[in-house]
Chain A
Amino acid sequence: MMEINRRAFLGLLTAAGAVAAMPALANQSRAIPGVYASASRGEDGRYYLNVVAQDALRVTHLLPERAHQVLFHPKQPWVIAVARRPGTFIDIVDYDSGLLVKQIVLAKGHYLYGHVQVTADGRYLLTTEKHPDQQEGQVVVRDLRANFDVVQRYSTGGIGPHELKLTADQSEVVIANGGILTEGREKLNLETMQPSLAYLNLASGKIVEQVALDERYHQSSIRHFDLSANGDVLIAMQYQGHPADDVPLVAHHRRGQPLTALDIPTPVRTQLKQYCGSACFDSTGRFGAVSAPRGNRVMFWDMTSGQYLSDVKTKDGCGLAPTDVASEFIVSTGRGRFYRVNAATAERQRLSLPGEAIWQWDNHMVRLAG
């Protein structure tokens, strides 16, 4: 009973994943299906913003320091990279010319938490930031038509906000308040941290809904999430307590409902080192993926039922983006790889990247729509 047969164990891991499904991926092209952007570390040890497509590495933009989230502008041929926490720059690069459109540098004492959104009309840029006089985090709004100046600041209703997303109707911004008070990158309040998911109404500036897990899970930091077109939120957490504790690491939310943990089979959960990286919905919003770079895998759920489906091995994989095919995602890794993975079949296919250089792909990636 004590002995765990490794083969049986691995079988258990993939049992839910319909291993016998058609080998659809094997027949597909290994070319990158679309245009994707990510921050990276180059072979020279410096940090970059890259745009990658089937034919070429289209942008290789040297950044002042390490970046975190990247985003395509909805109206302009721009790609945006935000400094990693606690950084102070936002680089906006024209991906056709490769030229820097604008480098926003924060005022002294302010810093970024690493995430960004742009309103669908292309006018406003929203970031999560720390104000030197405020313990709670802020959503800061800049007007791209008015010299990128700050036009609004809202409290996020919690300490240490991280990822943020605009709702489809643009009326609200959803914020992951990670709960962790930091100095530099040192964590100061792990015993008292209170993470939450907050919905901020942009017209009133008020938090209109805020949810958290049960108090006993207060050390599960709510850091990253994706928001589907129909309002589902898939949350990837990072637990700050004991490495052996059995705690939620992935959760689901919908406006007006409680925050609910999503099931992860024990043999998988115990490999994750309490750390999830990115969350992502597929093109249909039915399938959800969460990356676990310390567990070297990406996990999948059917979001209509909340049922765990499967996982695939992706060494040091963290960046996630959908393709235009249902149930399909691209995973980028810190070992310089892109994989196409399928939530419905648990298949994995390594993709060819243009060029010889190895780029260590950083935490998040994004797909150019259309």
Chain B
Amino acid sequence: MMNKGMGIRYSLALCAALMVPKAHAVLSDEQFIGLTESVVDQHVLPRYQALAASSKALSTRVRALCAAKPQASLAEAQQAFIAALQDWQQVQHIQFGPVTLLMRNYSMQYWPDKKNLGGKQLRAALADTNAVYDAAYLQHASIALKGFSAMERLLFTKHAQQLTSGTPTCRLSDGIAQHIATSSAAIVSEWAAERDGMLNASEDSDYYESPEEAATVLFKALVEPVEAIRDSKILAPLGETYDKARWTRSESWRSDQSVPNMVSNVLALQALYQATAPISIKGLLHSVDAPLAAAISEQFAAALAALQAVPQVEGKTVSKEAYDQLKVAERALRTLQSSLLAATRQLDIQLGFNSRDGD
């Protein structure tokens, strides 16, 4: 190869002149560490602790129902399910740390389920009359059988009629409820090490190479779920027009929780944005772009108000009124999404290049 590297670098000289010089990083390591500590301690850990508590309560209720304890009722078990599901919806945006190990995030809730894997696996499991649905069974069971989606089918469909002492339906429900509770508790205990990893980032760490990298996952957890909610939870079930709407594509239609789920999601994201102290994402943004910081707060409030104004959707059909209001909420979330992306640019946070938009 001739003349390797010996030539005149016109291109380089030209581009050096064009290149906008990069200012110093917008945020310091101290700010990144402070944000991470505030968010982990005040946002992440309390929500996982709440999930562990409510999923334990769910398992207690299911066991009481199946043991035919006096006062135990299906309605109580259903209420306990809804409480635990909503706590799960409050951590669904946290797609880093212990919940990601071995697909635990999908085994806690298998959704979307376009091929009805959950229904097939549930029928197969219940047909296996010799099965003992214990921890070992669930450890090796289909991912679609382990979590909230399967539990919802058992508690809110015709399966619920079989929830009487000693039936396979009861034994499986008990096993799944225990599995959710055990997984939730494990996530809480594993977060102690994850917290250390996030707060002690270093080049050779197994966890994060810099405070900025650790804090970046918090920004991803704030920004990326907004699009996912729009796409999967609103636009997919609504379809292009009202006559194409299929509410059975929504997340938790069997328990009528699809819309409340989104309220929980947005409440959690709003809290992640502005409810931590002394450092919050909003506070950091305020120091570089106060109008944007305030606008995002208003847009969170608007998106929440839009979702809370959706008339209750029951069963498999969405009313025209609910359909139209969900479209309003979708537009509010779109506005919020674009502001949150603008915020990451203002704070010089790189959510990912190859990992976000590869080919």
Q: Does any Cβ of B come within 8 Å of A57's Cβ?
A: yes
Chain B proximity mask over A87-104: 1 for CB below 8 Å, otherwise 0: 000000111111100000
CB-nearest residue of chain A to B197: A6
A293 CB contact (under 8 Å) in B19, B102, B143, B354: B354
- With A243-B106, A334-B352 as given contacts, are A275 and B358 in contact (CB-CB < 8 Å)? yes
CA distance A335 to B354 in the complex (A): 9
Q: Is the CB of B355 within 8 A of A334?
A: yes
Q: Is the CB of A316 within 8 A of B193?
A: no
Number of A-B contacts (CB under 8 A): 159
Chain A proximity mask over B1-25: 1 for CB below 8 Å, otherwise 0: 1111111111110111011101000
Q: Is the CB of A68 within 8 A of B355?
A: no
Q: Is the CB of B7 within 8 A of A96?
A: yes
Chain B proximity mask over A71-115: 1 for CB below 8 Å, otherwise 0: 000000100000011000000011111110000000000000010
CA distance A363 to B354 in the complex (A): 6
Q: Does any Cβ of B come within 8 Å of A350's Cβ?
A: yes
CA distance A80 to B81 in the complex (A): 58
B142 to chain A, nearest CB (A): 10
A183 to chain B, nearest CB (A): 15
Q: Is the CB of A244 within 8 A of B8?
A: no
Q: Is the CB of B1 within 8 A of A334?
A: no
Q: Is the CB of B5 within 8 A of A58?
A: yes
List residues 31-67 of chain A with CB under 8 A from any CB of chain B: 35, 41-44, 48, 53, 55-62
What residues of A have a CB within 8 angstroms of the CB of B190 in the complex?
Answer: 3-6
What residues of A have a CB within 8 angstroms of the CB of B102 in the complex?
Answer: 4, 266-267, 270
Chain A proximity mask over B332-359: 1 for CB below 8 Å, otherwise 0: 0000000000000000001011110011
A324 to chain B, nearest CB (A): 14
- The interface-forming segment of B181-189, B262-270, B284-292, B308-316 is B181-189
Q: Does any Cβ of A come within 8 Å of B128's Cβ?
A: no
Chain B proximity mask over A323-360: 1 for CB below 8 Å, otherwise 0: 00000000001110000000000000010000011101
Q: Does any Cβ of A come within 8 Å of B283's Cβ?
A: no
Q: Which residues of B contact A (CB under 8 A)?
A: 1-12, 14-16, 18-20, 22, 98, 100-103, 106-107, 110, 112, 114-115, 117, 135-136, 139, 143, 179, 182-183, 186, 189-190, 193-194, 197, 203, 206, 209, 213, 350, 352-355, 358-359
Q: Does any Cβ of B come within 8 Å of A131's Cβ?
A: no
A362 CB contact (under 8 Å) in B106, B213, B354: B354
CB-nearest residue of chain A to B10: A98
B139 to chain A, nearest CB (A): 6
What residues of A have a CB within 8 angstroms of the CB of B106 in the complex?
Answer: 243-244
9 contacts between A and B (CB under 8 A): A44-B18, A56-B9, A62-B18, A84-B359, A93-B11, A98-B9, A293-B355, A313-B209, A316-B355
Q: Is the CB of B11 within 8 A of A4?
A: no
A275-B358, A356-B22 given; 19 more Cβ-contact pairs under 8 Å: A6-B98, A41-B353, A48-B15, A58-B9, A59-B9, A61-B15, A62-B11, A62-B15, A77-B1, A77-B7, A96-B4, A96-B6, A97-B7, A98-B11, A316-B355, A318-B354, A334-B350, A334-B355, A360-B353
Q: Is the CB of A4 within 8 A of B7?
A: no
What residues of B have a CB within 8 angstroms of the CB of A294 in the complex?
Answer: 355, 358
Ranked nearest first, the 9 interchain pairs of A and B with the lowest CB-CB distance are A334-B353, A96-B7, A98-B11, A244-B106, A318-B354, A293-B354, A3-B186, A334-B354, A98-B10
Q: Does any Cβ of B come within 8 Å of A146's Cβ?
A: no
What residues of B have a CB within 8 angstroms of the CB of A99 in the complex?
Answer: 10-11
Q: Does any Cβ of B come within 8 Å of A277's Cβ?
A: yes
B133 to chain A, nearest CB (A): 15
- With A270-B102, A363-B358 as given contacts, are A60 and B20 in contact (CB-CB < 8 Å)? no
Q: Is the CB of A277 within 8 A of B353?
A: no
What residues of A have a CB within 8 angstroms of the CB of B5 in the complex?
Answer: 35, 53, 55-56, 58, 95-96
CB-nearest residue of chain B to A85: B359
Q: Which residues of A contact B (CB under 8 A)?
A: 1-7, 9-10, 35, 41-44, 48, 53, 55-62, 68, 77, 84-85, 93-99, 114, 162, 223, 242-244, 266-267, 270-271, 275, 277, 293-294, 296, 313, 315-318, 333-335, 350, 356-358, 360-363, 368-370
What residues of B have a CB within 8 angstroms of the CB of A59 in the complex?
Answer: 9, 11-12
CA distance A48 to B18 in the complex (A): 12
What residues of A have a CB within 8 angstroms of the CB of B22 in the complex?
Answer: 43, 356-358
A271 CB contact (under 8 Å) in B2, B7, B100, B350: B100
Q: Is the CB of A1 within 8 A of B20?
A: no
Q: Is the CB of A98 within 8 A of B1?
A: no
B136 CB contact (under 8 Å) in A1, A53, A333, A350: A1
A86 to chain B, nearest CB (A): 10
CA distance A311 to B55 in the complex (A): 35
CB-nearest residue of chain B to A51: B5
What residues of B have a CB within 8 angstroms of the CB of A98 in the complex?
Answer: 7-12
Q: Is the CB of B7 within 8 A of A316?
A: no
Q: Is the CB of A97 within 8 A of B355?
A: no
What residues of B have a CB within 8 angstroms of the CB of A317 in the complex?
Answer: 354
B182 CB contact (under 8 Å) in A2, A315, A362: A2
CA distance A313 to B110 in the complex (A): 28
What residues of B have a CB within 8 angstroms of the CB of A334 in the complex?
Answer: 350, 352-355
Q: Is the CB of B193 within 8 A of A6?
A: yes
- With A68-B359, A267-B101 as given contacts, are A61 and B183 in contact (CB-CB < 8 Å)? no
Interface centre among A2, A7, A9, A93 (most CB of B within 10 A): A2
A260 to chain B, nearest CB (A): 24
- With A60-B12, A77-B3, A114-B359 as given contacts, are A4 and B101 in contact (CB-CB < 8 Å)? yes
Interface centre among A35, A42, A57, A315 (most CB of B within 10 A): A315
